[in-house]
Amino acid sequence: MLNPQLRRRLEAVLGRENFSTRAEDLVLYAYDGTNEEHRPEAVAWPGSTAEVSAVVSLSAEAGLPVVARGAGSGLTGGALPVAGGLVLAMSRFNRILSIDPANLTAEVEPGVVTADFQAAVEKVGLFYPPDPASREFSTLGGNAAENAGGTRAVKYGVTRDYVMGLEAVLGTGEIVKTGVRTPKGVVGYDLTRLLVGSEGTLAIITRLILRLLPKPESKKTVAALFDHLDAAARVVAAITAAGIVPTTLEFMDRAALDCVKTYAHLDLDPDDRALLLIETDGPEEQAEKEAEAVIRLCLEMKARSVKKAASQAEAETLWQARRAISPALFQAAPGKFNEDIVVPRSRIPDMVAETLAIGHRYGVAIINFGHLGDGNIHTNVMYDPAEPGRREAAEAAVEAIFKATLAMGGTLSGEHGIGTAKSAYIALELEPAVLDLMRRIKTAFDPKGILNPGKIFPPRPPDLTGAE
């Protein structure tokens, strides 16, 4: 689809140095966090909204697929050019345009690294809460496209809660501005919230207006080990009943602890079956009072050990195990499916037990960790792709996990999105009328269907009647 004439026109818009069909560039942009490979026909590095608009207009005219890409850290295939076409790498959109302490807002381009933005606003006493595990390399545009969450979501919410407005390019090449810069605004449909989480299928984000908060004065970190996940879950219920809203409430099951104990130098007892990592924040007196209450509740629920960090350095040590889990998983097995199911908090022990039973049924290892405070479980199905039949068994386990999640009143994705990895299962959760409405919305924003094709919607209706 990339004919010589279109190539010349794209190079005229971008400059030859910002357009490539070199093999090494095509390979570089063929991957994301899923480690699946789909090579594009070309890669472009636009530097302005006008260039994005011109590129999309030309691509729509030619029917050339366009996939916007941030850091490529997504875990569901959202940045993969599965239909070939053009990857639009947004790395040149890397400026923090303004930080407004008086109005608690900032204006940024989508290629700004999340951690860099957090550091910049904290220098002026402000706070940007969304905190995905990939924050050191993921970008704000990608966070918005996937509606990223993170460890602080239990108290502060997810990316959607902090995006006030957007500038974006539709699939026609039209430039639109959505949202407001004010705390309130109810004029027309809320297109901003629609675009956040749309995985690049409706528009390409070129600018974001973000809401900020005052930086919390103090933060306290507590780690507790339990002999059973049920006890850890009871602590969560007790914390909620006490009116405490912790900043973070993370858990790791025994399989996750075993996975990181060497990597993070943990000294575990055989009866340590679950780890809770809890943080409180706010004014010093409040954060300290809530941390002490959390410690008391953990002890009442028969925690095997409880430790509160006495300093920031100790807090980082306590976080070491949680942050080590993702890299440690790559050492645990050469292949894995990383799912991010969500169930009601009260059902977490049931769901974890069910995942382990499913793993036993299909002969695959299951490792669970995640955000206990909001019911978001990162369920990792581990397998060896070199062993015949193991990938198929892992895929069958994933489908069984999804069905169990929905049976417990949950949802298939809390923060990773659908992409290609979950598109075959979306009809398990969404009824046909809703999917049809979503397809019509997609057509309104992208009439030619060139923006990130092959994502979210299933290529064919899955068989939902068969047994597991």
pLDDT, one tens digit per residue, over 89-138 is 999 999 999 999 999 999 999 999 999 999 999 999 999 999 999 999 99
* Same domain as 223, residue 185: no
Last residue of a domain, which of 214, 234, 261? 214
271 lies in a domain?
yes
State the residue range of the domain holding 306: 216-321
Average pLDDT over residues 226-245: 92
* Same domain as 209, residue 226: no
**Share above pLDDT 90 across residues of the chain, in percent, rounded to a whole number:** 87
Q: Are strands 42-44 and 86-89 parallel, antiparallel or unpaired?
A: parallel
Q: Which range, of 61-65, 103-107, 346-350, averages the lowest pLDDT?
A: 346-350
45 lies in a domain?
no
Whether pLDDT at 320 is above 70: yes
18 lies in a domain?
no
- Lookup: tokens for 441: 């919305």
Residue 467 pLDDT level (bands cut at 50, 70, 90): very low
119 lies in a domain?
yes
* Same domain as 260, residue 158: no
DSSP string, 286-351: HHHHHHHHHHHHHHHTT-SEEEE-SSHHHHHHHHHHHHHHHHHHHHH-SEEEEEEEE--GGGHHHH
60 lies in a domain?
no
Residue 261 pLDDT level (bands cut at 50, 70, 90): confident
Question: How many distinct structural domains can be found in the chain?
Answer: 3
Residue 11 pLDDT level (bands cut at 50, 70, 90): very high
210 lies in a domain?
yes
φ and ψ of 367, to 5 deg: -125, 125
Whether pLDDT at 42 is above 90: yes
* Same domain as 354, residue 342: yes
* Same domain as 249, residue 210: no
pTM of the model: 0.94
What's residue 464's pLDDT?
Answer: 53
2 lies in a domain?
no
What's residue 419's pLDDT?
Answer: 97
Whether pLDDT at 264 is above 90: no
Residue 328 pLDDT level (bands cut at 50, 70, 90): confident
What's residue 466's pLDDT?
Answer: 54
What's residue 47's pLDDT?
Answer: 98
10 lies in a domain?
no
* Same domain as 101, residue 210: yes
What's residue 263's pLDDT?
Answer: 73
Counting Cβ atoms within 10 Å, is residue 389 exposed (0-12), middle (13-18) or buried (19+)? exposed
pLDDT digits (tens, 9 = 90+) for 180-203: 999 999 999 999 999 999 999 999
Instruction: CATH number of the domain at 168, please.
Output: 3.30.465.10
Whether pLDDT at 77 is above 80: yes
Last residue of a domain, which of 321, 356, 385? 321
- In our burial notation (b when 16+ CB lie closer than 10 A, e otherwise), range 85-121 reads bbbbbbeebeebeebeeeebbbbbbbbbbbbbbbebb
Return all residues near 155 (Cβ < 8 A) that are at least 6 apart.
129, 245, 246, 247, 248, 281, 373
* Same domain as 175, residue 115: yes
Length, in residues, of the chain: 468
Instruction: CATH number of the domain at 373, please.
Output: 3.30.70.2740
pLDDT digits (tens, 9 = 90+) for 356-414: 999 999 999 999 999 999 999 999 999 999 999 999 999 999 999 999 999 999 999 99
What's residue 326's pLDDT?
Answer: 80
CB distance 54 to 11 below 8 Å: no
CB distance 203 to 173 below 8 Å: no
* Same domain as 221, residue 193: no
Whether pLDDT at 291 is above 60: yes
* Same domain as 317, residue 229: yes
- Higher-confidence residue: 260 or 280? 280
Look at residues 457, 430, 428 and name the one whose alpha carbon lies nearest to residue 442.
Answer: 457
* Same domain as 356, residue 313: no
Whether pLDDT at 420 is above 90: yes
Average pLDDT over residues 418-444: 97
CB distance 8 to 48 below 8 Å: no
* Same domain as 388, residue 348: yes
* Same domain as 171, residue 281: no
Whether pLDDT at 321 is above 90: no
Last residue of a domain, which of 181, 214, 247? 214
Average pLDDT, the chain: 94
